[in-house]
């Protein structure tokens, strides 16, 4: 009984959140108050590309059934090795593109 109530409330909250986001984006597009900076675009692109690389690496490791550690420790911080590799590849990607076009 309680699971149906929780499911219904979650669905209603998700729907309300979606409608609020739509209203917010419509207001932004109509008034043009918020300007997108080059830094925010660069960060957005970095996260998007590294996320795509991370998913590709996860699928590759899963397909090849490779055994890699769950976490690695760098400067007393434990990090997922695939996430670290995907961010590093994303960071160096523009340099390879520049070399490729020269």
Task: For 28-84, write each residue's pLDDT tens digit.
Answer: 666 555 666 777 778 888 899 999 999 999 999 999 999 999 898 877 888 899 998
The answer, as to whether pTM is greater than 0.75, is: no
**Interval 1-11: pLDDT, tens:** 677 787 787 77
Q: Report pLDDT for 41.
A: 76
User: What is the pLDDT at residue 1?
Assistant: 62
Q: For residue 38, what are its two tokens?
A: 């080059």
- SS3 category, 77: strand
- How far apart are the C-alpha atoms of 51 and 48, rounded to whole Å? 5
Annotated domain spans of the chain: 1-34, 38-102
On the question of pLDDT at 99 being above 80, the answer is yes
Chain-centroid distance, C-alpha 23: 24
């Amino acid at each position: 009984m309680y699971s149906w109530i929780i499911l219904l409330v979650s669905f209603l909250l998700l729907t309300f959140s979606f409608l609020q986001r739509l209203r917010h984006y419509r207001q932004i597009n109509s008034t043009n108050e918020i300007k997108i900076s080059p830094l925010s675009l660069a960060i957005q692109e970095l996260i998007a590309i590294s996320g795509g690389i991370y998913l590709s690496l996860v699928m590759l490791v899963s397909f090849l059934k490779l055994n890699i550690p769950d976490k690695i420790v760098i400067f007393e911080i434990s990090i997922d090795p695939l996430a670290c590799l995907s961010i590093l590849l994303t960071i160096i990607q523009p340099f390879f593109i520049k070399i490729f076009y020269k």
